[in-house]
Amino acid sequence: MNYLAYDRRYIWHPYASLKDPPPVRLVKSAAGTELELADGSHLTDAVSSWWCVAHGHNHPKIVEAIRRQSEKLSHVMFGGFTHEPAVELAWRLAKMAPAGLDKVFFADSGSIAVEVAAKMCIQYQHAKGRPNRRKLLALKGGYHGDTACAMALSDPDGMHVLFAGMMPKHFFAAMPNGKLDDWDFEKELDAHQAEIAGVICEPIFQAANAMNFYDAEYLRRMRRACDAYDIPLVFDEIAAGLYRTGPRWAHERAGIKPDIMTVGKALTGGHITLAATLASEAVADVISSGTPSAFMHGPTYMANPLACAAANASLELFAQGGYEEKVAQIERVFKEEGIPQVLGAVGVIKVPCLPARADIERVIDEHRVWLRPFCNFIYAMPPLTTDEPALRRICAALKDLAACPPGPDLGEGDFHE
Ligand SMILES: *Cc1c(COP(=O)(O)O)cnc(C)c1O
């Protein structure tokens, strides 16, 4: 079978047109940081396959966990049943999460986990007798996913403008990147608190829309303001969590806790899709005392046992420790190599405009490093286990790409990640 020809004929790739689609490469297998292509060549995955492959591809412990689970129970509905991998995973997440954030709702992707978090905020306010609080306050420059509610909480001027007509309108505070004193967050919250059910942000690191690192003081201000109005604060740790920026949770830098937290991407170490929304005891208590007392969500594949088994093996690897050190090494190499914006295992070179597609492909081929620049960001977010020689090659590729002449404006198609 000519796979690439049939791919072109039948398949829509993410953020791609079916007319003259950008090239795709046929992957045969993967191990560690390396992808093996159909022609036998290798590429080092410098973007952790959209930031989820934390321990390297096809980690033997995770693969074995999935295999063993598949022999016992691949799936069962989660309404009316439970199973060992889900219970173990909830226990692990509760132990790893900030103290008190131990009520776990499983979701099948990050976007769904965000929708679940938003619904928790609404049900919380409803149970408290404030049904007019049914919008959220989010931050400009944020990204929370591609489903309708998650799009509506992402940067209103970003990649989802086309769908503005179908999205509920929420409130937005300025992107946390100017002068802290000028930030309008409290002003927005004061003005609209009667309608605001919850506040959501990506703590410390706004990833897919802005590649923006920001000060922990922003989070402390959000915490204080939310407390004043009894509004739950949601931290979306889907990209930044699980050591990507250094600490286990990015928000640890602020010394405060959210009321609700979303986890995804690296949760299964990039092996199968799974995400989770964690709520505090207080939030869970209020929702469960409301009418209805049930939390109103339940996806078909909720807590899929194979995904839970993968996540258990992934979290076991994180628990064995050493990840803060691994990330510190990546940060050190990125800085030594002169990458201008670095936080933990994230290195970004901002350019006025991306190079032409042909230049991007050439740099990938020359360095044997897989890069996926977007908007005006040339970046690496490699697996946390990437060794120093591979990190140096990744940096060389980043710098080479950044030195290419600007290409034509690629438009919406290349907006995403
Ligand atoms: C990727 C991402 C999501 C969406 O996760 P999916 O699994 O792609 O649905 C949500 N929030 C943040 C911060 C993300 O980076």
Query: Do residue 244 and residue 179 come from a single domain?
Result: yes
CATH number at residue 289: 3.40.640.10
Q: Tell which atom from ligand 1 comes closest to the C-alpha of 146.
A: 9
- Predicted confidence (pLDDT) per residue in 204-256, tens digit: 999 999 999 999 999 999 999 999 999 999 999 999 999 999 999 999 999 99
SS3 content of the chain, % helix, strand, coil (to 5): 40, 15, 45
Nearest Cα residue to 149 out of 200, 184, 92: 200
Distance separating alpha carbons of residues 190 and 172, to the nearest angstrom: 13
Residue type, 353: C
Given a contact cutoff of 8 angstroms between Cβ atoms, the answer to whether 121 and 198 are in contact is: yes
* Distance in Å from the first CA to the final CA of the chain: 30
Q: Tell which atom from ligand 1 comes closest to the C-alpha of 265.
A: 7
- Predicted confidence (pLDDT) per residue in 364-386, tens digit: 999 999 999 999 999 999 999 99
Nearest Cα residue to 218 out of 263, 193, 185, 262: 185
Interhelix angle 84-96/305-319, rounded to 10 degrees, is 40
Distance separating alpha carbons of residues 382 and 387, to the nearest angstrom: 10
Say what the pLDDT of residue 265 is. 98
Query: Do residue 169 and residue 289 come from a single domain?
Result: yes
CATH number at residue 340: 3.90.1150.10
Is the per-residue pLDDT at 184 higher than 60? yes
Q: Tell which atom from ligand 1 comes closest to the C-alpha of 264.
A: 7
- Catalytic residue of the set 265, 326, 400, 414: 265
Going by CA atoms, what residue is nearest to atom 15 of ligand 1?
239
Distance separating alpha carbons of residues 109 and 273, to the nearest angstrom: 6
Query: Do residue 299 and residue 387 come from a single domain?
Result: no
48 belongs to a structural domain: no
Query: Do residue 244 and residue 371 come from a single domain?
Result: no
Query: Do residue 128 and residue 256 come from a single domain?
Result: yes
Average pLDDT over residues 308-321: 98
Query: ω before 292 within 30° of 0 (cis)?
Result: yes
Q: How many whole angstroms from 39 Cα to the centroid of ligand 1? A: 32
Given a contact cutoff of 8 angstroms between Cβ atoms, the answer to whether 359 and 341 are in contact is: no
Query: Do residue 244 and residue 337 come from a single domain?
Result: no
- 313: containing domain: 78-319
181 belongs to a structural domain: yes
Residues 6+ apart with CB under 8 A from 178: none
Query: Do residue 287 and residue 403 come from a single domain?
Result: no
Q: Tell which atom from ligand 1 comes closest to the C-alpha of 147.
A: 9
3-state secondary structure of 78: coil
Query: Do residue 259 and residue 394 come from a single domain?
Result: no
Is the per-residue pLDDT at 158 higher than 90? no
| % of the chain surpassing 90 pLDDT | 94
Say what the pLDDT of residue 416 is. 42
> Would you tell me how many other CB atoms lie within 10 Å of the CB of residue 51?
24
Query: Do residue 171 and residue 270 come from a single domain?
Result: yes
18 belongs to a structural domain: no
Average pLDDT over residues 304-333: 98
Q: Among all chains, which residue has been given the structure tokens 């230049």?
A: 359
Query: Do residue 130 and residue 185 come from a single domain?
Result: yes
Q: Does the active-site annotation cover 61?
A: no
Given a contact cutoff of 8 angstroms between Cβ atoms, the answer to whether 398 and 65 are in contact is: no
Query: Do residue 256 and residue 397 come from a single domain?
Result: no
Say what the pLDDT of residue 391 is. 98
Report phi then psi at 366, rounded to 5.
Answer: -65, -40
Q: How many whole angstroms from 405 Cα to the centroid of ligand 1? A: 31
Buried b (16+ CB within 10 A) or exposed e, 255-268: ebbbbbbbbbbbbb
- Catalytic residue of the set 15, 215, 285, 301: 15
Report phi then psi at 364, rounded to 5.
Answer: -60, -45
Banded model confidence at residue 161, pLDDT cuts 50, 70, 90: confident
Q: How many whole angstroms from 239 Cα to the centroid of ligand 1? A: 7
Q: Does the active-site annotation cover 45?
A: no
Q: Angle CA(202)–CA(208)–CA(209) in degrees, nearest 5?
A: 90
Q: Angle CA(280)–CA(282)–CA(287) in degrees, nearest 5?
A: 100
Q: Does the active-site annotation cover 409?
A: no
396 belongs to a structural domain: yes
73 belongs to a structural domain: no
Strands 205-206 and 34-37: unpaired
Tell me how far the alpha carbon of residue 288 is from its chain's centroid. Answer: 28
User: CA neighbours within 13 Å on the CB side: how many for 264?
Assistant: 28
Give the chain's mean pLDDT. Answer: 96
Task: Name the E strands within 54-204.
Answer: 103-107, 135-139, 171-173, 196-201
pTM for the structure as a whole: 0.97
50 belongs to a structural domain: no
Given a contact cutoff of 8 angstroms between Cβ atoms, the answer to whether 78 and 106 are in contact is: yes
379 belongs to a structural domain: yes
58 belongs to a structural domain: no
| % of the chain surpassing 70 pLDDT | 98
Going by CA atoms, what residue is nearest to atom 6 of ligand 1?
110
Q: Does the active-site annotation cover 143?
A: yes
Q: How many whole angstroms from 279 Cα to the centroid of ligand 1? A: 18
Is the per-residue pLDDT at 164 higher than 90? no
Q: How many whole angstroms from 177 Cα to the centroid of ligand 1? A: 21
Query: Do residue 402 and residue 295 come from a single domain?
Result: no
Which two structure tokens, joined as six digits, stand for 269? 């170490």
3-state secondary structure of 196: strand
The sign one gets for the Cα dihedral 295, 297, 301, 307 is negative
- Total of domains in the chain: 2
Label residue 22 exposed, middle or buried (CB < 10 Å: 0-12, 13-18, 19+): middle
Say what the pLDDT of residue 413 is. 42
